[in-house]
A and B are shown apart, each in its own frame.
Chain A
Amino acid sequence: MLLISCPYCGDRPEIEFTYGGQAHLVRPADPSALDDQQWAEYLYMRTNTKGVHAERWRHARGCGRFFNALRDTTTDRFAATYKIGAARPDPAASEPTPGTAR
C-alpha cells in the first residue's frame, strides 16, 4: 500500500485516496470550437509514461481534496505532491527518497 502525502493532511495510506488519472489536462473553454479530432485528443488520448508521471489523486476518505502528484510509474516513488493550480515542480529539484511520499 502506497504512502501518499496529501498536501493538506500529510502522509496517509493509499486506502484513503482515489486515483484521478493524468494531471494538467484542462477542459477546453469552448469545446464547440474544437473539431472532432481535437476533442478526441482531449477526451481520450493519455500519455502512458514510463517514469515520472504527473497524475491526480483525491484524498477521498480524508479531506476530500484533489491534488497532483509526480510518481515514477516504474518504482511507485513519489517525487512530489502539490495543490491543484500549482505548476508542476521539477522532479530533479526534489530528491526522491525511497519509501517516502515526499
Chain B
Amino acid sequence: MSVWRTPGGGRIDRTQRRKFRFDGRDYQGVAGDTLASALLANGVHLVGRSFKYHRPRGLLSAGAEEPNGLVTVRRDAARVTPNLRATQVELYEGLDALSQNRWPSLQFDVGRINDWLSPLFPAGFYYKTFMWPKGAWKSLYEPVIRRAAGLGVAPTEPDPDRYAQCYAHCDVLVAGGGAAGLAAALAAADEGARVILCDEQNEFGGALLSDPQATINGAGGQAWVDQALAELSANPRVTLLARTTAFGYFPHNLLGLNERLTDHLSAPPAGRARERLWQVRARSVVLATGAIERPVVFPGNDRPGILLAGAARTFLNRYGVRVGTRAVLVTAGDDAYQAALDLHAAGVSIAAVADLRPQAEGALPTAARRAGIEVLTSATVLGTLGGLRVNEIVLGELDGTGGVRRKRTVRCDAVLMSGGYTPSVHLFSQSRGKLAWNEPLQAFLPDRSAERERSVGACRGIYDLAGVIDDGFAAGAEAASGRSGRRRSVSAHSAGGDGSAFLGAVPLAGASSDKSFVDWQHDVTVKDLLLATREGFRSIEHVKRFTTTGMATDQGKTSNLNALSIVAGALEVPIPQVGLTSFRMPYTPTTFGSFAGASRGDLFDPVRKTPMHDWAATEGAVFEDVGLWKRARYFPRGGEGMHEAVARECLAVRSACGIFDASTLGKIEVVGADAAEFLNRLYVNNWSNLAVGRCRYGILCREDGFVYDDGVVARLAPDRFHVTTTTGGAARVLAMMEDYRQTEWPELAVWLASTTEQWAVIAVQGPKSRDLLQGLVEDIDIGAAALPHMSVAHGRICGVPGMVMRVSFSGELGFEVNVPADYGLGVWRAIHARGEKDITPYGTETMHVLRAEKGYIIVGQDTDGTVTPDDAGLAWAIGKSKADFVGKRSLQRASMHAPMRKQLVGLKSRDGRTILEEGAQVAEIPGQKPPMRLIGHVSSSYYSACLAHPIALALVAGGRARMGTTLYVPMPGGDIEVEVVPPVFYDPSGARIHA
C-alpha cells in the first residue's frame, strides 16, 4: 500500500487488487475504488487539462458534479466512452482510461499557451473575433476552433452493445438513496405502496457512506443503511435500482432513469444489455437528490490538489485515500472542519484552517483547535503556487478596512475548500416547480410544486441528519398515502449541519494577477463575469451565454450560485433579482445508446413490404423508400443504369404489357347507408350518380380549398365504396375522414376501415393486357363493352376471389387486379408466367414517366398545398350541382379565380434535348440577374423514351394563357428556353385508354 492509501476503513476491499491503466501507464487500485480514488491512491492528482486555457487540473469533487476529471474509458475501438467523470467510473481489473484535452501529453500540453495569451481571449471572444473576412469563418476559423475546442473523441466504430428500455409504473418513485431517500422509501413501503428507489451510485447510503461520525439509533450510520436495505429488498413491492441516474423529469410525473448494467464489470457477459432506460410513471415522486458542496472562488483555486473539503473526506472515509500529506482548509462554515479533523486523525498534517468568517467558535472549530490545528479567522486567500500540483497557498488576514494585515505563505500539497452547500434542485426545476431564494441558507430551495412531488432532506435545505431522516419518513408516508403523519422515528446525530454559506469570490480576489475560477469546466473566471456586466449584460441568462458559465456538461453544478452572486454583486442587486438559469435534462450526460435502445439499423423505423416484395428483390429490383414502404423503383437488366431500364420499361408498357406492384396505394372502405352522402360532403366530386360497378377519379381538398389527396374511388355496392388514396396519404386521409365523421357529421350512418394491407394490387398495363388476363379470370367479362374504362367487377383471378378494376395510371389499356394480400405473390407469379416475353415488370420510376406523359399529377409533387383543383387543371372533377363539400366555400373566394394563379402546364425544351431539373424556377424574361422575377417552377421532369424528347410539368403563373409561348429556366450555365404546351403529351384523345 502506498503512503496515500490508509491501512484500514472505508468501503473498499484492500485484498482485491485491481490493475488499471491511465494514459498508458499501469497502476493498481482495489475493489470498491472509483477511477478517481484509485488515481489519488497512486498519488496522481493531475487528471486533465482545462477546456480553454489548458491549465493542469486535478479532481475537484468525489461525485457527479466533477468538472475536471473527465476521462475517456476504452475497452476496444468500438467501446470508447468519452467525458466520463473519473469520480463515477468504478474501477475494474484492466480498466483503460485516457485523459482528455491535452497534446502531446497531460504533463506537457502545448495548448497551455492559451493561458499566457488569455488577455486575448476574454469572454465573448468568439462573438467578437473571426467576423472578418466573412468567407474565412467556414473555411478557416471554424475548422481550427473546432479542432482545438470540444471535449473527448467519439469512437470510430459503431457501438456493438445492446441497450434495453423498459416502462414502469409505481406509487412512489424516490430519486436518491441517501439518508432522506432511504427513509422516504421505508415510510412509503410501510403504507403498502409500490416503490422504486434509485441512486446514481454503486451503493445506497449517500453521504452516510463517507460519514463515520454519524450515529442513528445509537449505532453507526452504515448499520442503519444496511438494515434499511435489508428491509427494502425483502419487500416484493419495492424495486431498488443502484447505478441508476434519474436524469430527467418530464410532465405528469414521467421520469427518465438510466441504469448502467455492465460498465463496472471487467468482462461484461456477452449479450447482456449495457444500459437500461427506464421510463417511470409515478403517482408521486420524492426527490432526495442531496446537496453539492460549493468551491471557494480565490486566485489560483484550480491547481491540482485543491478540492472540495467534503470530497477529501469522502476519499478518506469511503475509499481509504489521503488526498495529501499536508493540507490547508479554506472554509466559511463549521461543517468542513470535520474534513480537517478526519484527515488529521488519518495522519495528514493540517497546516492551517483559513476561515473567512471573523469568528469560528462552534463545536467543530473548537475541536480543531483542541487537536492542535491552527485556525485563522478573517482570512482570505491571495493566491496559490505550484506547477502540476499546488505546493503553496498565500493566506492573508483582513484588517477590516479593505486591506490585508498579515500575509502568510503556507506550504501544502492539498487545499480543501468549502463554501457551504448548494441543494440539488435540478429535477425539481425540470418538473417546472418554482424555486424561492432562502436568505439564511443563501440558497434557492423548492417552493411551489408543479407536479405531485416533494423534495426531502438536503435538496430542500435540511442538513442535519436527524432532520433529514425525519423529513424522509414524513414525505415517504405522505407520498404513499396522501395523508401526513409518520409511523417511524429515529434519534440521529452527525457532525456539522450548521448550513452556513459563502457565495462568490473571496475579498481581494480581484487584486491577484492569477485567475479566480468560477466554472472549472468552461474556464470561466471572476474577470469574465465582471466583463459581462461591464458590457451591459443584466440578465443571468445573457451573462451565461456570453461567458458560457454553467453551460458545460456539468451544467454548473459547482459554479452557478457563485456566478450568480458575483453578477449580483457587480450589479448591486439582490441575488433573486438576477434570476436563475433553467436546469435542463439530463442531470449528467446520458448515452445516445440508451435513448436509441433497439431502434437502430433495421429496427430504426418500421419497414413496410408488399406481398410481392421478395419476388422483386429476387429479380434485382432497385427499391426506393416511399413513406415506410419499400417500393421497386426499376428492374435493371444486364448492367443497365436507371435511365436505360426506365426507357426499356416505358416502351414495353406502351408497346406490349407491363406489370406493376400497386399494393402500397392507400385503400379505405367507406360503408353504410350514408356512404355516398359522406363522400359527397368530403370529396369535390359528385358520388350520388356513380353507378355500382363504376369508378371515378376523386379529389379531396382541405377546408381551405387546396388539393389534399386524390385517388380512384370504386362503388362496390350502393352502400359500399372502395376509396384509394396516395401511398403516402393513406393515414392522414383516413384521419381526416374520421375527424369529419366523428365530430361534424356524427348523424351519418357510415363506417370507415383501412384496407390498405388487405389487398395486393397488381397493375397490368399496356395494349396486350386484356389478352393476357383473358384466360386468368373467371366469372368476369373483361371485354371492352362489359368492363369499360373506370369500372370494377368481382370474380376469381387465377382461382382466387378478388376484383378487377379497369383503371389506368399509364395512359394505356390497363387493369388493376386486387386479390387478398396473402394470394398476391401467387397471382403475380401466375400473371407474369402467362405473359412470357410480352410482359415486363416495371417500377415506380417508369410509372412516374408514364403518368407524366399523360399529364396526371402526383399530389405532393405537382401540388404543394397551395394548388386548387382548377390550378391543377382538374376543375372538371368538381360536382357543380353540390351545395357544399369540404373546400367549396374557400374555392368561391375571388383570389381562387385570379387569372395569374399558378397553373399546371407542360414544358418542352426548345433544343429537344435538355432535361429540366425538378424544382428549377421559371422566368418570363431571359437573362435576368438576381433577384430575378420568377413566375413558376418545374414540378416533374423526365426523358420520354416513347416521345423521344424530354417532358416536364410545371406550375406557371397564368400558365394556360401562355400556350405556345417561350419561357426561360435560369440555371447556373444560362437560361434554358422552353415552350409552354398542354400537360398531356401522349395520346391526348384518350383513344388508347378506352381501347
Contact = CB atoms under 8 A, between A and B. Distances in A.
A2 B252 contact: yes
A43 interface: yes
Contacts of A39: 889-890, 893
Interface string A8-39: 00000100001010000011001110101001
B883 A32 contact: yes
Contacts of B451: 98-99
A56 B738 CA distance: 13
B23 to A, nearest CB: 42
Contacts of B888: 31-32
B349 interface: no
Contacts of A64: 738
A3 B254 contact: yes
Contacts of B703: 27, 43
Contact of A2 (B251, B735, B883, B884): B251
Contacts of A56: 743
A94 interface: no
Interface string B464-497: 0000000000000000000000000000000000
B264 interface: no
Contacts of B432: 75
A31 B432 CA distance: 44
B254 A98 contact: no
A60 B744 CA distance: 17
A52 interface: no
B933 to A, nearest CB: 29
Contact of B704 (A13, A32, A43): A43
B746 A101 contact: no
Contact of B735 (A32, A60, A85, A100): A60
Contact of A75 (B250, B283, B450): B450
B253 interface: yes
A3 B450 contact: no
A92 interface: no
A3 B742 contact: no
Contacts of B883: 30, 32
A76 interface: yes
Interface in A64-98: 64-66, 75-76, 84-85, 97-98
A1 interface: yes
A76 B252 contact: yes
Interface-centre pick from B738, B742, B883 (highest chain A CB count, 10 A): B742
B742 A1 contact: no
Interface string B859-895: 0000000000000000000000001100011101110
A31 B250 CA distance: 43
B281 interface: yes
Contacts of A32: 883-884, 888-889, 892
Contacts of B253: 3, 99
A30 B742 CA distance: 19
Interface string A44-76: 000000000000101010001110000000011
Contact of A1 (B254, B450, B739): B254
A90 B78 CA distance: 58
Given A84-B742, A84-B743, A101 B889 contact: no
A9 to B, nearest CB: 15
A1 B400 CA distance: 55
Interface string B260-303: 00000000000000000001010100000000000000000000
B659 to A, nearest CB: 35
B452 interface: yes
Q: Give the dominant DSSP class at A's interface.
A: loop
Interface string B742-766: 1110100000000000000000000
Contacts of A85: 746
Given A27-B744, A75-B432, A85-B746, A20 B254 contact: no
B56 to A, nearest CB: 44
Interface string B430-467: 00100000000000000001111100000000000000
A72 to B, nearest CB: 11
Nearest to B705: A43
Given A30-B884, A32-B892, A66 B251 contact: no
A98 B284 CA distance: 10
A76 B549 CA distance: 31
Contacts of A27: 703, 744
Nearest to A1: B254
Contacts of B450: 75, 98
A87 to B, nearest CB: 15
B252 A58 contact: no
B743 to A, nearest CB: 5
Given A32-B892, A98-B450, A99-B451, A65 B742 contact: yes
Contact of A31 (B283, B742, B746, B884): B884
A43 B892 CA distance: 14
Contacts of B279: 1
Contacts of A43: 703-704, 890
Contacts of A97: 452
B735 A58 contact: yes
B743 A101 contact: no
A31 B704 CA distance: 12
Nearest to B281: A3
A3 to B, nearest CB: 4
A58 to B, nearest CB: 7
Contacts of A99: 252-253, 283, 451-453
Counting chain B CB atoms within 10 Å of each CB, the highest count among A2, A30, A31, A56 belongs to: A31
Contacts of B892: 32
A65 B746 CA distance: 12
A99 B894 CA distance: 49
A28 to B, nearest CB: 8
A57 to B, nearest CB: 12
A43 B894 CA distance: 16
B735 A18 contact: yes
- Centre residue among B283, B451, B746, B894 by max chain A CB count within 10 A: B451
A97 B451 CA distance: 8
Kindly name the residue among A18, A27, A32, A84 whose own CB sees the greatest number of chain B CB atoms within 10 A. A27
Contacts of A100: 252, 452
A31 B742 CA distance: 19
- Most central of A1, A60, A98 by chain B CB within 10 Å: A98
A13 to B, nearest CB: 8
Contacts of A36: 893-894
B216 to A, nearest CB: 32
A101 B252 contact: yes
A20 B894 CA distance: 29
A99 B884 CA distance: 44
Contacts of A60: 735
B738 A98 contact: no
A39 B893 CA distance: 10
Nearest to A18: B735
Which residue, B251, B453, B889, B890, has most C-beta atoms of chain A within 10 A? B889
Contacts of A30: 883-884
B251 A1 contact: yes
A66 B738 contact: yes
Nearest to B740: A27
Contacts of A20: 739
A75 B978 CA distance: 57
Contacts of A1: 250-252, 254, 279
Contacts of A58: 735, 738-739
A43 B432 CA distance: 34
6 contacts: A2-B252, A27-B744, A31-B889, A39-B890, A66-B743, A100-B452
Question: What are the 5 tightest A-B residue pairs by CB atom distance, in nearest-first order?
Answer: A31-B889, A3-B252, A99-B452, A99-B253, A99-B451
Interface of A: 1-3, 13, 18, 20, 26-27, 30-32, 34, 36, 39, 43, 56, 58, 60, 64-66, 75-76, 84-85, 97-101
Given A3-B254, A30-B883, A98-B450, 11 more contacts: A1-B254, A18-B735, A31-B888, A32-B883, A32-B888, A36-B893, A43-B703, A58-B735, A66-B743, A99-B283, A99-B451
